[in-house]
A and B are shown apart, each in its own frame.
Chain A
Amino acid sequence: NAGVTQTPKFQVLKTGQSMTLQCAQDMNHNSMYWYRQDPGMGLRLIYYSASEGTTDKGEVPNGYNVSRLNKREFSLRLESAAPSQTSVYFCASSEAAVRAHTFGSGTRLTVV
């Protein structure tokens, strides 16, 4: 059982570069989420998708875009990376909106 798979695991970007973080789940979950985790702070929601075909902003959406490609996949795009986006990013999924999440293993992103 793969659960939630995120790629890449590590990435270093220069300021202004763009990239897409990929996430896929194989549990047939309806809801998917992108969080960032910074030292001394709880997980903060960037964007979520309550169901296929819908996406909504979370607490910290600025500088990010998302695509719910199909039920399995939910990608996060940084169009022009900034040092403030240096963080660990987690994708998660759940059966229904705002239930216990299953998390991926994270992407550690550094923007220099």
Chain B
Amino acid sequence: DAGVIQSPRHEVTEMGQEVTLRCKPISGHNSLFWYRQTMMRGLELLIYFNNNVPIDDSGMPEDRFSAKMPNASFSTLKIQPSEPRDSAVYFCASSLRGGTGELFFGEGSRLTVL
């Protein structure tokens, strides 16, 4: 079975550019989570969705960050404009709400903003 699929795996961009990260959750999972990993802050929960609806975006650091889930098989995390401090690894994870719930993680998107 395919796991959570994220793209791109690596992104290098210049400050001020728009960045879009993509995620395809495991088929049948109805909850999707975006996490960010940095050395300084560890793993931070940015936003999560249930049945394609955003539930809590209080972890999104600034208005420059936005996330969407137009359907059950696709989500995006967008940063516009990007800044060097956004450099991190961004993980998408999915699970089945109502279960005992381990999250299944993608391989991550490593973002470097110059």
A binds B: no
Residues in B lying within 8 Å of A, measured CB to CB: none
